[in-house]
Chain A
Amino acid sequence: MESIEKLLQLIPHYEGLPELLRLALPMLVSCVLVFALLALAVLFLVWLERKVSAHIQDRLGPMYVGGWHGWAQTLADALKLLLKEDIVPESADKVLFKMAPFVVFLGAFAAFVVVPFGAMSFVTDLNIGVLYVVAVGSLSVIGLIMAGWASNNKYSLYGGMRAAAQIISYEIPSAIAIMTVIIYVGSLSMVDIVNAQKGGILHWFIFRNPFVFLGFVVYFVASLAEVNRTPFDIPEAESELVAGYHTEYSGMRFAFFFLAEYANMILVASVATTLFLGGWTSVLPGGTQLVPGPILFFGKALVLIFVQMWLRWSLPRLRVDQLMYLSWKVLLPVSLALVLGVGWLAVDW
């Protein structure tokens, strides 16, 4: 936000503006900036997902719209979704039904506030950044259960209930896996965490010690479940629940669920990049920055997102009991053991 404030000061007579406007303008600009970037990234990722899935299944995917390998397909789809009729079921709870998609999106969107995309490009540096991400990130579960309940549809309700059970269960191992990094840094601020990993690939936490590496694996698996991706997509299991919590949605509200899903993917990839893969810091040993930080950051996040997609098209969906087994009986004990291990190494005996 500081860099945006500096930019805004280039506006003539900026200092002469009312106090309230000067306070609100940087927030508004950074919000719009993050939203625009996020929407662009989502458009790209939906296209990428379709391409990756197609090629894994020996197909081609979208090929026509826009010329080169159907690059404009998602643009056309988004336009179509925006123009479609917004259907609200007769017996739905209208207010909650209309609100839910935005609540879901809000959770993902608000968490981006503390993600440092580059040395200077972050909205704000909270001293409890990681806690904020974990807390705000799980806000979306309220939206999901809201959508499931307000639709007044058995499939939606099942989807919402499953989403709640799943996301809350997987919050715990993912938060504990994040603890392994926090023990190292001794700070919850995202910027401090990135700064502690400066100096090339060997300084990234993932390669510092085996416990943190396993912590990364646990976080990655748990984050997949948190964003409802296959193999943990039981809240929207299309073969059982039609489309889960968003069965009754159409048009722009459906698009918002879609946006939220991909924004959540980007969020967990960004958080994993920041915590374990050195954020925007360079790959090269010694830490010479050849490419700008934000590009490097998105590159690393993109690799993680690609792995998410890769997993999605490799694995079948888990059953509900298998899902709970994995969370409570495997990931939770493993992550606790990892925290103990990191703590044991961190203590100066």
Chain B
Amino acid sequence: MFTYFRDIGLGITTVLKSMGVAWRHLFTPSVTLQYPTEKWTMPERSRARLLNIIEDCIGCGQCARVCPTECIRIQTEKRGKEEPEIVASNGTAIKLRTIVFDIDMTLCCYCALCTFACPTHCLVMTPAYEYSVYDKREHVYHFAKERSKIDKPPGGPSPAAA
């Protein structure tokens, strides 16, 4: 008999207690972010879409070699002797002309190994994360700007400007 009444009392008090908790939360500010209108400020060094600063690229192909998903495709050709000497921003001489530098972001696994391999730090990950498209072919980013100086390009479609 005692436990019967104690249980009823316990039931009432716990219900009131849980209602109190719910009432407090009714007025705590919401944690929802109204995404398309409000956005996270991404951390400065967050790793999302890849970007190649093609002016600094020496065409060494280390990024393509280290990539676990093989999403980077590079084609280079030797620069002619008569062409003016150019250097990357860290002083490395650029001896190869990068005619194809494609990154397929549908394959990228965001491991960032390529950025560590890059000797001139021209391949970086940017905080840009909103790049959905309707056609997945648009996810192949073409970074190479220079066209082949040789008459016949060494195969593959001519790279469009990024």
Binding site for B on A (CB under 8 A): 52, 54-60, 63, 310-311, 313-315, 329-330
Sample 20 A-B pairs with CB under 8 A, ordered by A number: A54-B30, A55-B25, A55-B27, A55-B30, A56-B25, A56-B26, A58-B25, A58-B28, A58-B31, A59-B30, A59-B31, A59-B32, A60-B32, A60-B34, A63-B34, A310-B19, A311-B15, A311-B19, A313-B22, A314-B22
B18–A315 CB distance below 8 A:
yes
Instruction: Quote the shortest CB–CB distance from A286 to chain B (angstroms).
Output: 32
Instruction: Quote the shortest CB–CB distance from B87 to chain A (angstroms).
Output: 53
B15–A315 CB distance below 8 A:
yes
In the complex, A290 Cα to B8 Cα: how many Å? 41
Chain B residues 40-84 with CB under 8 Å of chain A are none
B26–A314 CB distance below 8 A:
no
A52 nearest CB neighbor, chain B only:
B26
The interface residues of chain B lying within 8 Å CB-to-CB of A59 are: 30-32
The interface residues of chain B lying within 8 Å CB-to-CB of A329 are: 4
The interface residues of chain B lying within 8 Å CB-to-CB of A54 are: 30
A330 nearest CB neighbor, chain B only:
B8
Q: A56-B26, A310-B22, A330-B8 are in contact. List 18 more A-B contacts (CB 8 A).
A: A54-B30, A55-B25, A55-B30, A56-B22, A58-B31, A59-B31, A59-B32, A60-B32, A60-B34, A310-B19, A310-B23, A311-B19, A314-B18, A314-B19, A314-B21, A314-B22, A315-B18, A329-B4
The interface residues of chain A lying within 8 Å CB-to-CB of B15 are: 311, 314-315
Instruction: Quote the shortest CB–CB distance from A346 to chain B (angstroms).
Output: 26
In the complex, A63 Cα to B32 Cα: how many Å? 11
Interface SS of chain B: helix, strand, loop or mixed? helix
B25 nearest CB neighbor, chain A only:
A56
A312 nearest CB neighbor, chain B only:
B22
A57–B8 CB distance below 8 A:
no
The interface residues of chain A lying within 8 Å CB-to-CB of B34 are: 60, 63
In the complex, A7 Cα to B27 Cα: how many Å? 46
The interface residues of chain B lying within 8 Å CB-to-CB of A52 are: 26
Q: Which of A58, A310, A311, A313 contacts B30 (CB 8 A)?
A: A58
The interface residues of chain B lying within 8 Å CB-to-CB of A313 are: 22
In the complex, A54 Cα to B30 Cα: how many Å? 9
What are the 10 closest A-B residue pairs judged by CB atoms, nearest first? A314-B22, A60-B32, A314-B18, A60-B30, A314-B19, A56-B22, A58-B31, A55-B26, A59-B32, A56-B25
B20 nearest CB neighbor, chain A only:
A314
Most chain A CB within a 10 A radius of its CB, from B21, B30, B31: B30
The interface residues of chain A lying within 8 Å CB-to-CB of B22 are: 56, 310, 313-314
B25–A57 CB distance below 8 A:
yes
The interface residues of chain A lying within 8 Å CB-to-CB of B31 are: 58-59
The interface residues of chain A lying within 8 Å CB-to-CB of B18 are: 314-315
The interface residues of chain B lying within 8 Å CB-to-CB of A330 are: 8
Instruction: Quote the shortest CB–CB distance from A305 to chain B (angstroms).
Output: 15
The interface residues of chain A lying within 8 Å CB-to-CB of B19 are: 310-311, 314
Instruction: Quote the shortest CB–CB distance from B13 to chain A (angstroms).
Output: 13
The interface residues of chain A lying within 8 Å CB-to-CB of B21 are: 314
In the complex, A57 Cα to B29 Cα: how many Å? 10
The interface residues of chain B lying within 8 Å CB-to-CB of A63 are: 34
The interface residues of chain B lying within 8 Å CB-to-CB of A311 are: 15, 19
In the complex, A57 Cα to B22 Cα: how many Å? 8
